[in-house]
Structure 1
Amino acid sequence: MGASDTRLVETKTSGQELFKGHFLHALRDTVQLPDGGQAVREYVVHPGAVMVVPLLQDAHGATRLVLERQFRYPVGQVMIEFPAGKLDPGESGLACAQRELREETGYVAGQWARAGVLHPCIAYSTEFIEVWFARDLHLGERQLDPGEFLEVFTATPQELLLWCGQGKVTDAKTLTGALWLQNVLSGSWSLDWQGPLAPAGAGASTP
């Protein structure tokens, strides 16, 4: 945050807990506004998550994407998404990305690259999602959590971008992943690839 941002900052003066469940934690804070007034901010504390953009090579060497179809109860729809999941306590982003990809799709990746981070709902949640790319995929067995039902399928980058443009893909993290993917494949944005157990930043190449 730069010095010029201080005139926009709100400062917490008091707070209370509204709800604490297995997954979500809701709070209500009173804040002092930049002009000295007061306001109430209600928000959800989230542990953070990862999303994986898995790049699969078909028999002809063309890139395909590993995607999922999953029913999301709050919106009452089956959504097209990239594999994703929340961080366990003390878990690194890379470890979470490896775990979620393996559990949800069965794929294990030989190379990984951290693209960046997104904040999907900044008005009411602390949630952040690390965006990871995975390649050199090898298929094994899925290990879905109890009560988790999803379908895994593949599509070309062109198909995904078409679905985004048609409004068939509306999941915010997947739309962001499609933006990253488009720029990586065009060469506009680069990735720093590493082995699955290497420290972050080790090695460098682009797809």
Structure 2
Amino acid sequence: MDKHLKETKIDSELAYNGGFLKVHRDTVALPDGKHTKREYIRHPGAVVIIPVLDDGQVLLERQYRYPNDRVFIELPAGKIDPGEDPLACAIRELEEETGYTGTDWQFVATIHNAIAYSDEHLDIYLARGLSAGEVKLDDGEFIETFTASVDQMLDWVRSGQITDVKTVIGTFWLDKLRSGDWKLD
């Protein structure tokens, strides 16, 4: 049905093979038959957790992100390990980064955050029934946690204090769920 839009791989090479990311450079045939190059990043996928405390506050993180040289406000998230179930990853990442565990987990959505240059996807989970515990940060990981209301998060999105795409989308999902406009399966 979408054949008139599809590009077909002719040749592929690995342009960069890093410890975390792999950059591919492919030659593709366009729908009109012309050839061009496509460079893209292979990513193993990740999870995003929307951790909602019993009082309705949301558990957030502040973390420095080197490529943008600034501290960002973010929802907890992390890379899926090879062969790891996404929900198991979400449970693991929430505990490692925040020390919290949850008893009620619901899948929210899958998003593709950089479709022009990466195959990365993020599975978003809502976590409730939270209990505080001990943080288990990875070596070289520095995170500060804090709580905020959904209304504060919406204000921060509007004012540009929250610009991280996974956190913006998670905030909008949370607002829709809170209002009853959207429901989870």
Asked if these proteins are the same fold (TM beyond 0.5), I'd say yes
Cα distance in 2 for partners of 1:186, 1:7 equals 41
Partner of 2:35: 38
Deviation, 1:15, is: 0.9
Residue number among 174, 177, 181 corresponding to 2:174 in the alignment: 181
Cα distance in 1 for partners of 2:128, 2:54 equals 8
Partner of 1:20: 17
Cα distance in 2 for partners of 1:179, 1:31 equals 36
Q: In the TM superposition, what whole-angstrom CA distance separates every residue of 1:142-185 from its partner, at most 9, and x where no partner exists?
A: 10000000100000000000000001100011111111111111
Partner of 2:161: 168
Aligned length: 185
Residue number among 4, 7, 13 corresponding to 2:4 in the alignment: 7
Whether 1:83 and 2:76 are equivalent positions in the alignment is yes
Whether 1:128 and 2:125 are equivalent positions in the alignment is no
Task: Summarize the alignment of residues 50-129 of structure 1 with structure 2, pairs less than 5 Å apart.
Answer: 50-58=47-55, 63-129=56-122
Cα distance in 1 for partners of 2:79, 2:58 equals 21
Partner of 1:202: none
- Helix, strand or coil: the match of 1:130? strand
Identical counterparts, % of pairs = 50
Partner of 1:154: 147
Cα distance in 2 for partners of 1:35, 1:181 equals 43
Residue number among 137, 140, 145 corresponding to 1:144 in the alignment: 137
Deviation, 1:57, is: 1.8
- Helix, strand or coil: the match of 1:29? strand
Q: In the TM superposition, what whole-angstrom CA distance separates every residue of 1:40-70 from its partner, at most 9, and x where no partner exists?
A: 0000000000000001023xxxx10000000
TM-score, normalised on structure 2?
0.99
Cα distance in 2 for partners of 1:141, 1:95 equals 18
TM-score, normalised on structure 1?
0.88
- Helix, strand or coil: the match of 2:140? coil
Cα distance in 2 for partners of 1:6, 1:112 equals 39
Structure 2: give runs of 5+ residues left out of the alignment.
Answer: none
Structure 1: give runs of 5+ residues left out of the alignment.
Answer: 193-207
- Helix, strand or coil: the match of 1:98? helix
Cα distance in 1 for partners of 2:4, 2:57 equals 47
Structure 1 runs of 4+ aligned residues shifted over 3 Å read: none
- Helix, strand or coil: the match of 1:102? helix
